[in-house]
């Protein structure tokens, strides 16, 4: 590449915490280190990188801690929890990436930016929450939590022993508040970690004041807004599967390779992608290309570099 290609990378929860793990610091740092190995390879291939990430497991765990300790320590609202987990996860990526580059004797600036994202207070998701947070549960466990804790729970995976999770409001993102700061860091040749967990959801009052809201924005949709706001070339969504599939979990299951926006929209309308799983990823990928992005890619962490080279993954183009 003669000119560096700007890639916004949206990392799924598996890049930080595997579903069957307890989420210890050791678990999370090991997963982040594996992810950072791929990020270093992308940097060596001359890609400019902006990293965004999910925070569902971390935010869910922190909310549980807050509930259990509420008689000892004042619990914090969800926007504060989002900011806290942005800092937590951003620190791990920043620290481990810096150490990788130091061992390679490369001086590459890396910055984590606590990011606010504008949403609308009357978003319908406040009435019908859809964003999974925290651990996976069996149906019995989930319904018990609904009864005893007042959780809103939904099935978010089509198969498996634990397919249910707690869900919270997930309003549509409209604007990345810190776009100018992110652009300045890109111009300074930094690797930027931004809009973590979808960003802190804020609404803007008539006088321009920003107010945090009790919600968690979908990180893939916010990642799309981030990619568009900085004129990224590629929006790369990394999850736990190599390709998006139609007829997932059925005998006629089929992996999707390179497809057009119209094909992706058709499959989405036919209900092939679950709302709490692949649905938001495909929606965000479609939006990026329709708004002028060159291509969106959905693939697994291990296949990221090959997918950027066009060798694998679900690649959505005009």
Any bridge partners for residue 260, and if so which?
A: 317
Q: Which residues are catalytic?
A: 13-14, 131, 219, 281
The Cα 20–Cα 11 span in angstroms is 18
Question: Are 257 and 245 spatial neighbours (Cβ–Cβ below 8 Å)?
Answer: no
Nearest to 224 by CA among 186, 281, 304, 180: 281
Q: Do 134 and 23 contact (CB within 8 A), yes or no?
A: no
Coil/strand/helix, residue 154: strand
Of 114, 78, 288, 92, the residue nearest 199 (C-alpha): 114
Which is nearest to 95 in space by CA: 195, 28, 178, 186?
28
Interatomic CA distance for residues 48 and 119, integer angstroms: 28
Name the phi and psi angles at 73, rounded to 5. Answer: -135, 135
Q: Report CA dihedral (258, 12, 216, 262) to the nearest 10 degrees.
A: 0
């Amino acid at each position: 590449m003669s000119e560096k290609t700007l890639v916004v990378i949206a990392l799924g929860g598996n890049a930080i915490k595997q579903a069957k793990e307890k989420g210890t610091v050791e678990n999370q740092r090991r997963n982040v280190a594996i992810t950072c190995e791929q990020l270093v390879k992308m940097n060596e291939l001359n890609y400019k990188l902006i990293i965004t990430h999910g925070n569902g497991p971390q935010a869910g765990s922190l909310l549980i801690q807050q509930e259990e300790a509420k008689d000892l320590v004042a619990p914090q609202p969800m926007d504060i929890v989002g900011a806290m987990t942005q800092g937590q996860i951003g620190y791990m990526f920043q620290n481990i990436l810096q150490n990788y580059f130091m061992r390679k004797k490369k001086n590459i600036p890396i910055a984590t930016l606590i990011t606010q994202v504008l949403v609308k207070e009357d978003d319908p998701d406040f009435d019908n929450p859809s964003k999974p947070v925290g651990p996976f549960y069996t149906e019995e466990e989930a319904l018990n939590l609904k009864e005893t804790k007042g959780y809103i729970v939904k099935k978010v995976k089509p198969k498996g022993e634990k397919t249910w999770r707690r869900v919270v409001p997930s309003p549509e993102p409209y604007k990345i508040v810190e776009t100018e700061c992110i652009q300045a860091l890109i111009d300074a040749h930094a690797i930027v970690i931004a809009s973590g967990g979808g960003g802190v959801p804020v609404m803007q009052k008539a006088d321009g004041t920003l107010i945090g809201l009790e919600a968690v924005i979908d990180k893939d949709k916010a990642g799309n807004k981030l990619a568009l706001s900085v004129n990224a070339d590629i929006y790369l969504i990394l999850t736990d599967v190599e390709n998006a599939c139609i007829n997932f979990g059925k005998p006629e299951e089929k992996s999707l390779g390179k497809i057009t926006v119209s094909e992706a929209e058709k499959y989405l309308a036919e209900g092939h992608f679950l709302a709490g799983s692949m649905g938001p990823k495909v929606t965000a990928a479609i939006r990026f290309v329709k708004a002028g992005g060159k291509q969106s890619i959905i693939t697994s962490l291990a296949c990221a570099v090959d997918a950027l080279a066009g060798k694998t993954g679900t690649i959505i183009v005009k």
